[in-house]
Copies of this chain bind each other. A is one copy, B any other.
């Protein structure tokens, strides 16, 4: 690592941030946090428009006016959930890309880059974990989100560019345009994995009940994407 690329690197504070630092101290769940988790769950399950502020406050067992008092508006609450979860996901991806860079002298192979891109969100999909609703929320935000959310996704190319730069280094035979398209396709593998689709696939394949199902799914996805990148 004679000349570290700043775009592929991470600042130390990025990697050490605590995702749950926002919670009220002493683990005491304040009204604000109750609203946050209830809203995220309901939004993830039923969609943004179908959930009213009364549904949220009822689920959180707090007063109706709490949302407007603590977050300003329903849309502001939505946006705060979105920005926090997006930052967490980006951080997890950046951390894995950082480790891949360290392990391969700044030139990680295609498979390592794709793994850093795919593994974090798919790991969140583990039904045993409590991150499932967060990734379901983020996937929903991609299509049902407000214009402001989509602007954030669109202007957040700096995060995506770390991966496209790494893939360009790993695939010198490909033009940048080709790399961008195949990266786009790889992202499509992830976004299509909402859990409603899992049922549809279960009808065909016979179920996903294995214990290590998530890791196996990651391997399948990385295999598929890697083949698309290694193609001539």
Q: A residues near B, CB below 8 A? A: 47-50, 139-140, 143-144, 150, 153-154, 157, 160-161, 164, 176-178, 180-182, 184-185, 187-194, 196-197, 199-201, 203-206, 220-221, 223-228, 230-231
Q: B182 to A205, Cβ gap below 8 A?
A: no
A144-B144, A196-B150, A200-B154 given; A205·B230 CB < 8 A: no
| Complex-state Cα separation, A150 to B113, whole angstroms | 34
Chain B residues with CB below 8 A from A161, complex form: 204
Q: B185 to A189, Cβ gap below 8 A?
A: yes
20 residue pairs A–B, Cβ–Cβ below 8 Å: A47-B49, A47-B144, A49-B49, A140-B143, A157-B200, A157-B204, A161-B204, A177-B206, A180-B205, A181-B205, A182-B220, A184-B192, A184-B197, A188-B188, A188-B189, A191-B191, A192-B192, A224-B228, A227-B227, A228-B228
Nearest to A198 among chain B residues (CB) is: B184
Q: B164 to A204, Cβ gap below 8 A?
A: yes
| Complex-state Cα separation, A200 to B180, whole angstroms | 11
| Complex-state Cα separation, A189 to B176, whole angstroms | 19
Chain B residues with CB below 8 A from A143, complex form: 47, 139-140, 143-144, 194, 196
Q: Is the interface of A mostly helix, strand, loop or mixed?
A: helix
Chain B residues with CB below 8 A from A226, complex form: 231
Chain B residues with CB below 8 A from A230, complex form: 227
Nearest to A48 among chain B residues (CB) is: B49
- Least distance between A203 CB and chain B CB atoms (Å): 5
Q: A184 to B201, Cβ gap below 8 A?
A: yes
| Complex-state Cα separation, A87 to B141, whole angstroms | 28
Chain B residues with CB below 8 A from A200, complex form: 153-154, 157
Nearest to A194 among chain B residues (CB) is: B143
Nearest to A187 among chain B residues (CB) is: B192
| Complex-state Cα separation, A204 to B187, whole angstroms | 14
